[in-house]
Amino acid sequence: MIIKKPIDLELTQLSGQTSQPPWAEINGTFSNVVNVNGNQVIFNVKQFGEFLDFDFDGDVSQSQAVSKLSYIFDLDFDLDRFYKYLENHAELVEMSKFCNGLRLFLAPDPFECVISSICSANNSIKRWTKSISDIKHNWGNQYGDYYTFPKSCDLLNIYLDEEEEFDLSGISDIERCTNNLKNCGVGYRAPYMRKASELFTDEMDLQDISKMSYEEAFETILKVPGVGPKVADCILLYGFNFKEAFPSDVWIKRIVSYLYFDGKDISVSKVREFGMEEFGDYAGYVQLYMFHYARKSGLMAKLK
Catalytic residues: 230
Rounded CA-CA distance 257/268 in Å is 10
Crossing angle for the helix pair 125-139 and 110-120, to the nearest 10 degrees: 140
Burial class of 267 by CB neighbour count within 10 A (0 to 12, 13 to 18, 19+): exposed
Contact 72, 105 (CB under 8 A): yes
**Assign residue 280 a region: left if phi > 0, alpha if psi is -120 to 50, beta otherwise?**
left
Say if residues 233 and 247 touch (Cβ distance below 8 Å).
yes
Distances in whole angstroms, Cα of residue 64 to Cα of each of 4, 67, 69, 71, 134? 17, 5, 9, 11, 29
SS3 for 194?
A: helix
Q: How far is CA 16 from the centre of its chain?
A: 7
Secondary structure letter of residue 203 according to DSSP: T
Q: Strand, helix or coil at 245?
A: coil
Give dist(CA 187, CA 197) in Å, integer.
17
Burial degree of 191 (CB within 10 A; 0-12, 13-18, 19+): middle
